[in-house]
Every structure is written in structure tokens, then in C-alpha cells.
Amino acid sequence: MPKNKGKGGKNRKRGKNEADDEKRELIFKEDGQEYAQVLRMLGNGRCEAMCIDGTKRLCHIRGKMHKKVWIAAGDIILVGLRDYQDDKADVILKYMPDEARLLKAYGELPENTRLNEGIAGGIDEEDDGAADDYIEFEDEDIDKI
């Protein structure tokens, strides 16, 4: 049986829960970057995100964030746009919920962006209300069935 020569196993790679990003400085976008909201996670370190400019992009989570920063649907992220591929981008940063609220207050995110919901939506979608969700039947219609 081979001898273990490493310094530990899976639990060592996980490390401690470092809470060094509690009070970090708010990072705004620069040229070549865009804010986006995650629509769904695709696996393999990738996600589908709707950028604020209205483009749906396939985003790749960079290795520094992979398995350290957990990204879920509905999160606000900062993506780096690619010069050679407009439909793909790279996730640079995930904003905490309070940072996303600050971005919205500063006017960086549009007003119709929904922040604290698990499912993304509302960047370019118009909400007509709950009238479209339900169909009301009259008693006569039920009798015909």
C-alpha cells in the first residue's frame, strides 16, 4: 500500500471559513466589464446570466472563485466581457446581498432588477401583475364540463 505523502485530504482543501470579506470595498464596473444576474447554474463551473445591457451570456466561473464562492440563481455578479466572443463572459466577482442593494441605490443597476429572489428575472421582463396567472371559471362553464 502506498504511503501518504501529502499534507492532508479533502477537508484540508476546504479550509477554514475565512470571513475576510465581511467589510470589503464596493467594486464598480470598469470598461470591459458588466453587471449581470445569474439565471441558472449549468454545472462544470459555468452559469447562464442576463447582463444589464440586455444580452444573455454563458459565464465561466474563474478558478479563484471555483468551490470557494458559491453562486446561485438570482445572484448579482460582475462579469468580464470577452473581446473575441460576445456571447461568453467570465465571472470576476459575486456581490453580497447588501452590496447589490447599494449598487441599486447608486443607480448602477436598473430599478426593475429583482435582488432578493431565488429565481432570476425582471431585468428586461415587464410584470403585468397576477391577472395572467389565474383563469376564473363561471358556474356555467363548470356545468358544461
Q: Model confidence at 21, in pLDDT bands (50, 70, 90)?
A: low
The domains of the chain, with CATH numbers, are: 33-106 (2.40.50.140)
Q: Mean of the per-residue pLDDT values for the chain?
A: 79
Cα separation of 115 and 122, whole Å? 9
Are the C-beta atoms of residues 59 and 85 closer than 8 Å to each other?
A: no
Q: What is the mean pLDDT of residues 10-32?
A: 74
What's the mean pLDDT in 42-58? 92
Each residue's pLDDT tens digit, 102-132: 998 998 888 888 776 554 444 444 445 555 5
**DSSP per-residue codes, 37-65:** EEEEEEETTEEEEEETTS-EEEEEE-TTT
